[in-house]
Structure 1
Amino acid sequence: MANPSCNDLTRLTLGVDRDSEALAHVFDERDPAVVRSIQTLAAPAHAAGRPAGVCGQRPSDDPAFTAILVAAGLDSISVAPDSFAAVASHVARAEATLETDA
């Protein structure tokens, strides 16, 4: 199964389409409800022997969001090829922070 997109998960969780002029201002992948959704998806996937991951643009643009994904225990973050180096750096920093905090 392909990684779900952060965009789709946010739309599902918040019931908001980012393309709606009336509601676009509420669309936010870092909304606490979306973050909780991501956090609660990894453990059951791992318990079932499946990897957990997401794809999307937000991890490419937002190192803090990438850190949220790493802390949630995701196995993969799919991004556009031109964003790979930056996201790999964000992931490495987030993983180092988790190791330091442990």
Structure 2
Amino acid sequence: MLLSLLKKDLYPDDPVKREDVYNTYKKYLENYTEEEIDWYGLSMFEAIKKQMNLEEATNKPQPLKHVYRAELIEKLRAAGIDGVKAALEEHESGLQQQ
């Protein structure tokens, strides 16, 4: 309920009622951030699963070839060698595909 109130997606067909409900209950949103509201009401199992997914996403290993390529591009850029921009764009497009 708090998340719907925060996103203002209650009563999508009736904006007057949506604003009325929001104005009535917005005082309950003042003490929480969106992240806290997202965690609020989860069972222990759901919270553990969510935390594990977050940790897995943040600790995902990055292949060293990408790290070394980025370092090489930065060194080339610092040295002022032409053609670095094309290599940089190729590197960034490769990262986005993964």
TM-score in terms of structure 1 length: 0.30
Relative CO higher for 1 or 2, CA cutoff 8 Å, sep ≥ 6?
A: 1
Structure ranking higher in helix proportion: 2
Structure ranking higher in strand proportion: 1
